Amino acid sequence: MSTHLNNLLVHPEFLEGTHWEIRSVAGNDYVFREGEQNNDVFIILSGTVRVLGTVDLNKDTHVSPGFSDLGEGQVFGELPLFDKQPRSASVAAVNDCELAVLHGDKLIEFLDAHPDIGYNILRGIVESLVERLRKANQRVFSLFAWGLKSSGIDQYL
C-alpha cells in the first residue's frame, strides 16, 4: 500500500498544503490519542512510531501496552477513513519522526475523482488490513492459550 500512497505524494493534482502536509513529531510525543476524532492517514517518512492500546485491569489500574512498532514507509491511521469512528488506539513517536499526513476528506475526494488510482490505493489498504487482522488473530489465539495454561484449564480439555 505504501508504494501507491507514496506515489500519490508526487501526483501533480494531490497538492502538498492542500491534500497533505509534512509533520515532524519529537520522540515520545503522541501523533494522536485513542478516542480522538479525525480521519487523517499517516505515512512514516523517517523514524519509528509505536501503536498503543489501553487495557483496563480494574477500575483503578490501566496500562498501555505497545501492540507494534512501525517504521519508514509504513502507513497507519486508515481505519476512520471507512467507519468515521474515533481512533481505536494511540500512536506515539519512539524517536524523532517525519510523517506525511494525508487529510482524510481530501484523500477521499481525490480518490473518488481518480477511480483508477483509488482502486489501487484501496486494494493496498485492504491487503494491509488483512495482514494486520491475521497477526491480531494469532496474538488472540496465543493469549487465549496462555490464559488456559496459566489457569490450569488446559489439563481438562
Record the cell numbers describing residue 103, joined without a space: 487529510
pLDDT tens for each residue of 67-115: 889 999 999 999 999 999 999 999 999 999 999 999 999 999 999 999 9
The answer, yes or no, to whether residue 17 has pLDDT greater than 80, is yes
Q: How far apart are CA 100 and CA 6, in angstroms?
A: 9
Q: What CATH superfamily classification does 2-149 receive?
A: Jelly Rolls (2.60.120.10)
The answer, yes or no, to whether residue 1 has pLDDT greater than 60, is no
| pLDDT at residue number 2 | 59
Contact of 73 with 83, CB cutoff 8 Å: no
Q: How far apart are CA 17 and CA 81, in angstroms?
A: 20
The answer, yes or no, to whether residue 33 has pLDDT greater than 90, is yes
Q: pTM score, two decimals?
A: 0.84
The answer, yes or no, to whether residue 50 has pLDDT greater than 90, is yes
Q: How far apart are CA 38 and CA 85, in angstroms?
A: 8
| pLDDT at residue number 59 | 81
Q: How far apart are CA 32 and CA 34, in angstroms?
A: 7
Please state, as a whole number, how many other Cβ atoms lie within 10 Å of the Cβ of residue 134: 10
pLDDT tens for each residue of 123-154: 988 888 888 889 888 888 888 888 888 888 87
Please state, as a whole number, how many other Cβ atoms lie within 10 Å of the Cβ of residue 121: 23
Encode 17-66 in three state secondary structure: CCCEEEEEECCCCEEECCCCCCCCEEEEEECCEEEECCEEEECCEEECCE
| pLDDT at residue number 42 | 97
Across the range 43-52, mean pLDDT stands at: 96
The answer, yes or no, to whether residue 61 has pLDDT greater than 80, is no
The answer, yes or no, to whether residue 65 has pLDDT greater than 90, is no
In terms of pLDDT, which residue wins out, 143 or 45? 45
